[in-house]
Chain A
Amino acid sequence: MKLLRIAFGLVIVFAASWAAARVATDKRRSGHQDMGEALQKMQDDDTANPGMLFVQLGGQFWAKAAGAADKSCADCHGSAATSMKGVAARYPAIPQGAEAPLDLEGRINLCRTENQKAERLPPESRELLALEAYVAHQSRGMPIAPPADPRLGAFRARGAEIYRARQGQLNLSCAICHDDNAGKKLAGVTIPEAHPTGYPIYRLEWQALGSLKRRLRNCLVGIRAEAYAYDAPEYVMLELFLMDRARGMTLESPGVRP
């Protein structure tokens, strides 16, 4: 109980500090602003942005019946343009009847098992990423708006702790790169502020679409830390923290990043 109260306190402090930061001019930068003009253009043009191929694919999966229930996403949710608008801007969230928060992928898989009576889609599988991209795309241009649900506070605070904790053989925390040294160069690239504004992203390094989870795993491998298991709650906690940190920034999904 005491821990929970501390966590709540922390969240309020974070919320207050971010609100104060926003009152002053917003200096936060999306990774989009750190890219060269050519890559910005690639993201901004829907026929040039390879992520749009996955959005298109996701639209096909959206309409395709799956599982023992033989239902498609569209059978329940209708047009994603209306039913999914804003969803990616507020996730991770705690679904009805659940106690722990889920990220968008987790929510899609919950729908698969509960409503479609289908198998979970494997992490980073093309179908899961395509569906996620399709859903996230419906919120493109909207401000990131994490829900007010007080139950999320403790999870978010834990995410903040992970963000600031040194780990791995290089003994680095997320904050050391992305708060203290953001904007400086690491090898040839600008260290971004790590705002999850464009996920799932088409990362040129991957030559494919990938999730925030994949990106976080890359960072963990980069600092020579052991990545959490794919289904570990730590990723969701980190995402809760990062989305709150990026509150009010514009969602760009699908983003292009080097």
Chain B
Amino acid sequence: MDRRRFLAGTAAIVVLPFGPASATPEAMAEAIRKVVGDAAVTEGRVTLDLPPLIENGNTVPLVVSVESPMTVADHVKAIHVFNEKNPQPNVFSARLSARNGKATVGTRIKLGDSQKIVAIAETSDGKFWSASADVIVTLAACLEEST
């Protein structure tokens, strides 16, 4: 056990009585269930673009693209992103329509640790599509300590 991990562990124990429970793979699954209901989620059509190695978890560029003609008859209605290990499983939910022309959404997210990220797209026919990515968040050196 290295020192940083030990310190992080100590901090977690100290904070735990006041802090919220962290998201877990189960919490993520539940959050996804809330969005998709009983519908099946098929892997595919969705591309989740994150840097392979994350230099700082505070600001991680992320782009989600979905293959879709984006017509009134056939378009992406929503894109949801979830994570396993942040304090909460939800990252964002975006609503789209045929007016977007292209089902691509970009933003920047915080990741507290290396973990799995899941993106789910809901298409106008009521189907759900997904992609996931395992990301590695490296530890920053020379962190600022409050002085």
Q: Do chains A and B touch in the complex (CB under 8 A)?
A: yes
8 A Cβ contacts from A205-258 to B: 205-207, 214, 217-219, 221-222, 227, 258
Q: How far is the CA of A221 from the CA of B56 in the complex (A)?
A: 19
CB of A187 closer than 8 Å to a CB of B: yes
CB of B140 closer than 8 Å to a CB of A: yes
Partner of B53, one of A36, A187, A191, A227: A36
B31 to chain A, nearest CB (A): 25
State the 8 A-B residue pairs at the shortest beta-carbon distance, nearest first.
Answer: A188-B138, A222-B142, A258-B55, A204-B56, A187-B141, A258-B56, A186-B141, A38-B51
A188 close to B144 (CB less than 8 A):
no
Q: A205-B58, A258-B56 are in contact. Are A187 and B138 (CB under 8 A)?
A: yes
A207 close to B58 (CB less than 8 A):
yes
Q: How far is the CA of A206 from the CA of B59 in the complex (A)?
A: 10
CB of A35 closer than 8 Å to a CB of B: yes
Query: How big is the A interface, by class?
Result: 20 to 34
Name the prevailing secondary structure of the B interface residues: loop
CB of B139 closer than 8 Å to a CB of A: yes
Question: A38, A204, A205 — which one has the most chain B CB atoms within 10 A of its CB?
Answer: A38
A190 to chain B, nearest CB (A): 9
Q: A37-B51, A38-B61, A222-B142 are in contact. List 5 more A-B contacts (CB 8 A).
A: A189-B141, A214-B144, A218-B144, A221-B145, A221-B147
CB of A7 closer than 8 Å to a CB of B: no
Q: How far is the CA of A38 from the CA of B54 in the complex (A)?
A: 9
* Contacts A/B (CB < 8 Å), 12 sampled: A36-B53, A38-B61, A187-B141, A188-B53, A189-B141, A204-B59, A205-B143, A205-B144, A217-B147, A218-B144, A227-B147, A258-B140
Partner of B142, one of A35, A42, A207, A218: A218
Interface residues as binary, B40-67 with A (CB distance below 8 Å gives 1, 0 otherwise): 0000000000010101101101000000
8 A Cβ contacts from B128-145 to A: 138-145
**A residues in contact with B138, CB < 8 Å:** 187-189
